[in-house]
Amino acid sequence: MARGLGYYIAVRALMIIPTILVLYTIVFILLRMLPGDPILAVAGTKNIPPEQYEELRRLAGLDKHPVVQYFDYLWGMLHGDFGVTLATPRGTPVSRYIWQRFPATLELTIFSFAISVLLGLATGTVAALRRGGMVDAGMRVYSIVAYTLFIPWFGMILQYIFGLQLAWLPTSGRLDPGLTVDRVTGLYVLDSLITRNWDVLKSALAHLVLPSITLGIVLSGAYTRLVRNNMVDVLGQDFIRAYQARGVRGWKVAWYALKNAFIPVVTLMGLQFAILLGGAVLTETTFSWPGMGTFIVDRIEYRDYTSIQGAVVFFALFVGLISLIVDIVYALLDPRVKY
């Protein structure tokens, strides 16, 4: 039964592989099944010289048999090769863009994720403690409204209020112009801490506020609901009354209740993170955030088939990794999970 956490993680990691493979396969097949010639699309004209057409096909890896393509790409992916761009600048490895852009997206999503979880826990707990009353009803409205907020719209309203009218916060980019930071991780907040560059830290945090609040609030609605329902459930259980009956202090009881209500929330986190990544594309576009989302959108304008394919496949890998992390966190939190 108990073979230890290392064994558990290894098994879970192995179980993620099929998920990633399936996702890769779906993306691979979809992109090839769909009508339209990507080569003509990226060239922007039907009248391109045949040799240039062939050159583009070779660059895109489309000249080989689909089965060969499938395994070639998979093999490359394992080595961090996601193909090369077809549009200008032609022939650049997509992985170079991912290397540049992904940390920005990661930084944004980590902050948004933290905001959404904290907001969800707070609102859900308050609703559960005041269940049946006006506060509960209010939190319910909050969760629905938050969930249906249209990210670009909400983001622009925040830009208008806090960036334009109050002029408290910057509305676009990751850093004030002129500032640079040595890359260690690519996450500016982390890098500026490591290099003790306080100006950059301040600027990076200020730039993060609006986009991560936008995305965080939108994502918090789902947690509000879940935390509230779990909390109501947990508060009705005997062990809460039993804690009180032994004279345990109120705030400690509330903490234990929250811990128990949090367990099912963890299972939602993987899915929420996926939604977060989708929302990040819109958030990045709204706030000119130089991440993966804006990269995809830029490349769509060029109809750069290979870049889009590379970015999407990379996201598939990342989603797999996230679900592995969620599994591990869950196992660490809940003693009932056997490993």
Q: How far apart are CA 195 and CA 197, in angstroms?
A: 5
Q: How far is the CB of 191 from another protein (least distance, A)?
A: 26
Q: How far is the CB of 152 from another protein (least distance, A)?
A: 5
Q: How far is the CB of 155 from another protein (least distance, A)?
A: 10
Please identify, among the stretches 6-14, 26-34, 55-63, 69-77, the one whose residues bind another protein according to the rule CB under 8 A.
26-34
Which of 26, 118, 184, 321 is in the footprint of another protein by CB under 8 A? 26
Under the criterion CB under 8 A, does residue 151 sit at the interface with another protein?
Answer: yes
Under the criterion CB under 8 A, does residue 305 sit at the interface with another protein?
Answer: yes
Under the criterion CB under 8 A, does residue 232 sit at the interface with another protein?
Answer: no
Under the criterion CB under 8 A, does residue 30 sit at the interface with another protein?
Answer: yes
Please identify, among the stretches 45-53, 145-153, 186-194, 205-213, the one whose residues bind another protein according to the rule CB under 8 A.
145-153
Chain residues 167-186 in contact with another protein, contact rule CB under 8 A = 171
Q: If you write DSSP's letter for every residue of 52-98 in order, what string do you get? A: HHHHHHHHHTTTS-HHHHHHHHHHHHHTT---B-SSSSTT-BHHHHH
Which of 114, 157, 194, 332 is in the footprint of another protein by CB under 8 A? 157
Q: How far is the CB of 171 from another protein (least distance, A)?
A: 7
What 8-state DSSP symbol labels residue 304? Answer: -
Q: How far is the CB of 186 from another protein (least distance, A)?
A: 20
Find the angle CA(139)-CA(323)-CA(228) to the nearest 5 degrees: 15
Q: How far is the CB of 180 from another protein (least distance, A)?
A: 26
Under the criterion CB under 8 A, does residue 255 sit at the interface with another protein?
Answer: no
| CA distance readout (Å), 328 to 113, 120, 266 | 18, 22, 10
Q: How far is the CB of 194 from another protein (least distance, A)?
A: 30
Q: How far is the CB of 335 from another protein (least distance, A)?
A: 4
Binding mask 5-24 for another protein (x = CB under 8 A): -------------xx--xx-
Cβ contacts of 83 within 8 Å, gap of 6 or more: 60, 61, 73, 76, 93, 94, 306, 307, 309, 310
Cβ proximity of 266 and 329 under 8 Å: yes
Please identify, among the stretches 48-56, 154-162, 177-185, 199-207, the one whose residues bind another protein according to the rule CB under 8 A.
154-162
Which of 64, 239, 321, 332 is in the footprint of another protein by CB under 8 A? 239
Cβ proximity of 32 and 60 under 8 Å: no
Q: Give 307's Cβ-side CA count (13 Å radius).
A: 26
Which among 40, 39, 22, 19 has a CA at the least distance from the CA of 30?
22
Nearer to another protein, 90 or 130 (CB): 130
How many chain residues interact with another protein (CB under 8 A)?
A: 76
Chain residues 276-295 in contact with another protein, contact rule CB under 8 A = 276-279, 281-282, 285-286
Please identify, among the stretches 31-39, 66-74, 79-87, 173-181, the one whose residues bind another protein according to the rule CB under 8 A.
31-39
Take residue 309 and report the two structure tokens written for it.
């394919």
Chain residues 38-97 in contact with another protein, contact rule CB under 8 A = 38, 41
Kindly report each contact of residues 149-156 with a partner whose C-beta sits within 8 Å and lies 24 or more positions away, as own/partner: 149/217, 149/218, 151/214, 151/215, 151/218, 151/279, 151/282, 151/283, 151/286, 152/282, 152/285, 152/286, 154/214, 154/217, 154/218, 155/210, 155/211, 155/214, 155/282, 155/283, 155/286, 155/287, 156/286
Neighbours of 322 (CB within 10 A): 21
Please identify, among the stretches 186-194, 196-204, 208-216, 301-309, the one whose residues bind another protein according to the rule CB under 8 A.
301-309
